[in-house]
Amino acid sequence: MDLSFMEHDTLAAAKAMLGKRLTTIVEGVTASGYITEVEGYLGINDKAAHAYGGRRTKKNEMMYRPFGTIYVYTMHGHHCMNFITRDAESPEGILIRAVEPIEGIEVMQQRRGRMDHLTDGPGKLTQSMGVKRELHNGLKLNEGPIIITEGRTPEAIVESKRIGIANKEEASDYLYRFTVKGNPYVSKDRVKAAANLGWS
């Protein structure tokens, strides 16, 4: 699909990312899900972002690549996946925090070593979908094993504070986390599932 919606406005792109179908093909196995939760990270001026103040290191180098680049980092032994927006002048990106599983449930369960809670968190979905820093950091969306295509449309979008950055001063209060209202496949909050899981 056309990725040009990621070229200019990161927060608009983050909201547009909800409902897109994310597919990975790793070790010959396909897994996919609808994106249900994302967070925006606004680079230079965002104290919670890895690129705050223009900080540029070996670890966050991929944030300075063009929109459509995949940035995978590890922390506490888990992998987190971001889609980079804009360009080298604006090192911004979208953290993919949760998806609703569609395809490859069995391999997700196998990779996770459990039957539920497969993709309702940033470290969980990368584990379920086989995403690893050493394999996928720096690749381009839709030019390799990680693909997004059109999916579903959220009935409504909920804005909330980002998770895990409580000590980032004013940036802690930014409402840059977006979830599909009524979809239970999201991190942290226990959401009462809507009849259609929040899709229109």
In the list 15, 152, 162, 177, the residue contacting DNA (rule: CB under 7 A) is 162
Distance, in Å, from the CA atom of 94 to the CA atom of 11, rounded to the nearest integer, reads 8
Question: Which residue shows structure tokens 């070790």?
Answer: 27
Say which residues have a Cβ less than 8 Å from residue 98's Cβ, sequence separation at least 6.
35, 36, 37, 119, 120, 121, 122, 124, 125, 179, 185, 186, 187
From residue 41 to residue 60, the character string flagging contacts with DNA as x (rule: CB under 7 A) and all else as - is: x------xxxx---x-xxx-
Nearer to DNA, 9 or 155 (CB): 9
Nearer to DNA by Cβ, of 155 and 164: the residue is 164
x/- map, 99-128, DNA, by CB under 7 A: -------------x-x--x---xxxx----
From the list 67, 85, 97, the residue with the least C-alpha distance to 179 is 97
Min CB(120)–DNA separation in Å: 8
Query: Are the beta carbons of 49 and 41 closer than 8 angstroms?
Result: yes
Binding-site ranges for DNA (CB under 7 A)? 39, 41, 48-51, 55, 57-59, 63, 71, 74-78, 80, 82, 93, 95, 112, 114, 117, 121-124, 162-165, 167, 187
